[in-house]
Amino acid sequence: MKACHDAIALCESLGLGEVDPEHGPLVPAERGRELAAGLKALGYDYFVTCVATHLPAVEATDDEPGVPERFLVAYRVRRMPKGHFAFRFEVEQDCPSMVAFWSGADWHEREQYDLVGVRFEGHPDLRRIMMPEDWEGHPLRKDYAIETRHFPWR
Amino acid sequence: MALARWSGMPALGDVPVQIDVDPYMDIDAYDAEGDLMVLNLGPQHPSTHGVFRVKLYLDGEVCIKAVPYLGYLHRGVEKLCEKLTYANVIPIVDKNDYVAPMTSEWGLVAGFEKLIGVEPTPRAKVMRTILGELQRCASHLLWIGTFTLDMGGAIGGGATVFMHTFREREAILDVFAELTGCRFHYNHFTVGGQRHDVPAGWGAMVKAVCDLLEARTEEYESYLTDNTVFKARTVGVGVIDRQLCLEHGLGGPIGRASGVDFDLRRDGDDYGAYGTVDWKVHTHTDGDCYARYLVRLNELRTSIAIVRQLIDGIPEGPICSLKQVKLPGAVKPKAKASMAYAAIETPRGELGTWVMANSERKLMPHPYRCKLRPPSLHAVSLLPYICPGNNVSDIVVTLGSLDPIMGEVDR
C-alpha cells in the first residue's frame, strides 16, 4: 500500500526531504507535531500503530565514525477509506508523543516505553503497561538477553 | 472539579447522569474526601473474558473513572519473534487470538510474505479466504454466546444461546480438524502458502456446515433481534462515537457499528480472494451494543456467502509457492535493512504485523523486530472513554460487546 499524494505533498511543503513510498519520511523529532497537525487537517484520523525499535550503538572503527544508541519510532495512520501514510523518527531518547493528535496512540506509546525504553515527550500518562510497575529494564532492548533472570521469577 | 452528577428527579428516569469524560482525570483531586467506592473488576472474573482488570471508581452504582490494567497474560511474543526463525514463529501466534487462530496466523504470515517478497499461490489464496471466513463465523458464534451469557442468563434462560452457538462452532472446528488435525492452534499457514492440502470430501463437509449455519443464524436472530430483554440491555448502551473509533484505530465490527465504513478486505492491500467474490461491508450508525450485535450477525451471513462462492472453485496447483524446506532457517528475506507492514481483517478488526529484517552482519533467518498490532488492544483502550457515566451492569455488557481477547491484547 503506497502513501497518498496529499500527504507526500504536505511533506514536501514542510521540507521533510525524501519520502519512502512505503515507510514515509524520516522526520526530525522537533518537526513531528507540525507534521501530525498537517496530517490531521488532511483527514488522517485513523491511528494504526506505533513501533519503536532499539538500535544499539555502533563503535567507531578506523574507517567509519561510530553511531550512538538510538531508537527508530515508526507511526502509521490512515484516512478513510483508502488513504494510508507512515512516518518515522530516529531519536536518541525522547520522541514527540502523538497522543494529542490521535488518542489511540496512548497505549501504543506506553507499550513502546515499557518494552523498548524510548520516552515519549508530552505523553499524559507514561507508565508501564505490560510489565509489573517495579520491573527493571526494558525487555525488547537488544542488550536485554532473553535469559535475563529477575527476582522472584527464575 | 465538582460535577452535577444528579440533577432533577433521577427516579423518574428522565435525567441522565452528567459526567465529563476525561480518562486522565485526577481522581484524588476529584474525590478528596474518599467517598467513591473502588471496585476491582477482574483479573479473574468471567465477564472480563480473560485475565483483565479494570479499576472502577464508583459513585453509587455509576462509574466516574475506569482505569484498565493489562499484562496479566504478557508472554513476550515479540521478544520470542526475535529469537525464532520466520517459520518457527507461526505456531506461537496461534495462542495470541485463541478464538480465531487461523486469522491470527494469517496476519503474521502476511507481514512476513511482504518482507520476504513471496506471493502465495492461487490455490493457497482461495483456501486462506475460505478458512478465514469460516474462522470469522466460529469467532462471531462464540461472541454471540458469551455476550448473551454476560447478561446474566436473562436471555433464553441461563446459558441456552451460549450452548447453541457452541454447538455450531464445534461443527466448524470439525472442518478445521479434518484439514489440519487440530481443533485449534493449527500451525496451518506457512510463508508462501499452507501446510496441508484439502482432504477428500472436505468440500462437501464445508457445504454441509454452511447449510447448518445458515439455518441456525435465522434461529439466533429469532432469539435475540426482537427480544425485549435483549434490547433493553443493549440499545443505547455503550455508545461509541465515530471520531473516537477512528482515533483509536477501530475498523473492525466495533468501528463499523459506529459508522466507520472501513474493511481491510475491501479497502486494504489486495489479499486473499476477496476481489473475486460478491460481498458487501455492513455498517450501522448507532454505535451501541445492539448495533455491534447486528453488524456481527450480518457479517456471519456474509462470511457464509463468501465461503459458498469459493468452495466449488478452488484452483488446482501447488499449496505453497516456496519449496517445502526441511530447515526453517532457509526462509529469509533477500533485501537488507528492509521493513514491512501488512494487515488483514480478523473477526475483531485490523491485525497488522510490522516486521524488520535482521541484517546486522549478514541476513538472518529471524526478524530484528516484529510488532503485532492487535485489534483487541484498541478496543480495550476505549474503556476509559465509554465507562464513565454507566452502571456496572452496563459496563459488563459493554466490555462483552467489544469482544476483547486478552491473549492478543497482552501478547
What b/e readout covers A95-133, taking b as 16+ CB neighbours within 10 angstroms?
Answer: bbbbbebbbbbbbbbbbbbbbbbbebeebeebebbbbee
Other beta carbons within 10 angstroms of residue B259's beta carbon come to: 18
**Nearest beta carbon to residue B378 from set A104, A131, A140:** A104
Facing B339 at nearest CB: one of A23, A108, A131: A23
Are B221 and B324 part of one and the same domain? Answer: yes
Number of compact structural domains in chain A: 1
Phi, psi of A85 (to 5 degrees): -150, 145
Name every chain B residue with its beta carbon within 8 A of the beta carbon of A108: 377
Domain span at A51: 5-59+67-121
Same domain? B65 vs B85: no
In this structure, are B109 and B253 located in the same domain? yes
pLDDT along chain B (411 residues), means of 10: 48 58 78 82 73 86 86 86 84 88 91 85 90 92 86 66 86 91 87 86 91 89 83 84 87 89 85 87 88 91 91 85 65 70 90 84 79 91 86 86 88 84
From chain B, pick out residues whose CB is under 8 angstroms from the CB of A74: 339, 354
Whether A109 is in a domain gets the answer yes
Same domain assignment for residues B233 and B323: yes
Do B44 and B81 belong to one domain? no
Rounded-to-integer distance, Cα B60 and Cα B232, Å: 21
Q: Give the residues across from B372 on adjacent strands.
A: B353
Residue in A with minimal Cα distance to B354: A51
Q: Is residue B383 part of a domain?
A: no
Q: Which of B339, B340, B322 is nearest to B331 (CA)?
A: B322
Instruction: Give chain B positions within 8 Å (CB) of A107.
Output: 377, 381
Please choose, from the candidates B49, B398, B17, the residue with its C-alpha nearest in 3D space to the C-alpha of residue B234: B398
Decide which of B47, B69, B91 is a domain's last residue.
B69
On whether residue B394 sits in a domain, the answer given is no
pTM of the model: 0.86
- Count of domains observed in chain B: 2
Q: Is residue A129 part of a domain?
A: no
Q: Are residues B87 and B173 located together in one domain of the fold?
A: yes
3-state helix, strand, coil in chain B (%, to 5): 45, 15, 40
Within this chain, do residues B24 and B162 fall inside the same structural domain, yes or no? Answer: no
Q: Is residue A36 part of a domain?
A: yes
B26 touching chain A per CB within 8 A: no
Q: Which amino acid is at B275?
A: G
Do B52 and B144 share a structural domain?
Answer: no
Cβ-defined contact of A45 to B410 (cutoff 8 Å): no
Beta bridge partners of B356: B339, B369
Q: Do residues B87 and B331 lie in contact, with contact meaning Cβ atoms separated by under 8 Å? A: yes
Q: Quick check: A148 pLDDT over 70?
A: no
**Is the CB of A146 less than 8 angstroms away from the CB of B79?**
yes
Between A80, A124, A140, which is nearest B78 by CB? A140
Helix axes B289-311, B202-224, angle to 10 degrees: 160
- A100: domain CATH number is 3.30.460.80
Q: Is B372 on the interface with A (CB under 8 A)?
A: no
Same domain, B311 and B169: yes
**B406 occurs within a structural domain:** no
pLDDT in tens, A19-28: 777 888 888 8
Return the C-alpha cell found at B370.
516484529
Q: Does A24 fall in a domain?
A: yes
How many interface pairs between A and B have CB atoms less than 8 angstroms apart? 90
ipTM: 0.86
> Is B381 within a domain?
no
Whether residues A130 and B70 touch (CB distance < 8 A) is answered with yes
Within-domain flag for A154: no
The verdict on a CB contact (< 8 Å) between B261 and A81 is yes
Is the Cβ–Cβ distance between A1 and B268 less than 8 Å?
A: yes
Range of the domain at B204: 77-373
Residue A88 contacts residue A25 (beta carbons within 8 Å): yes
For B247, the closest of A82, A104, A132 (CB atoms) is A104
Does the beta-carbon distance from A49 to B24 stay under 8 Å? Answer: no
B76/A76 touch (CB, cutoff 8 Å), yes or no: no
Is A95 within a domain?
yes
For residues B243 and B268, membership in a common domain is answered with yes
Contact A48 B352 (CB under 8 A): yes
By Cβ distance, the residue of B249, B262, B410 closest to A104 is B249
Peptide bond into A96 cis (omega under 30): no
Q: Both B24 and B97 in a single domain?
A: no
Report chain B residues whose CB lies below 8 A from the CB of A115: 78
Same domain, B278 and B358: yes
Query: C-alpha distances in angstroms, B226 versus B234, B235, B389?
Result: 12, 11, 27
Whether residue A74 and residue B339 make contact (CB cut-off 8 A), yes or no, is yes
Q: Does residue A31 belong to the interface with chain B, where contact is any CB pair within 8 Å?
A: no
Residue A29 located in a structural domain: yes
The domain that holds B247 is classified in CATH as 1.10.645.10
Given a cut of 60, is residue A154 above it in pLDDT? Answer: no
In a domain, B409, yes or no: no
Q: Which one, of B237, B236, B235, B253, lies nearest residue B245 by Cα?
A: B253
Q: Is residue B403 part of a domain?
A: no
Q: Residue A48: closest CA among chain B residues belongs to which residue?
A: B249
- Which of residues B69, B88, B107 is at a domain's end? B69
Does some domain include residue B378?
Answer: no
Flag whether B252 is in a domain. yes
- Chain A environment of B339 (Cβ under 8 Å): 22-23, 74
Of B69, B92, B112, the residue at which a domain comes to its end is B69
Question: In terms of Cα–Cα distance, which of B122, B145, B315 is closest to B220?
Answer: B145
CA B9, CA B4: separation in Å to the nearest integer? Answer: 13
All residues of chain B having their beta carbon less than 8 Å from the beta carbon of residue A102 are 247, 249
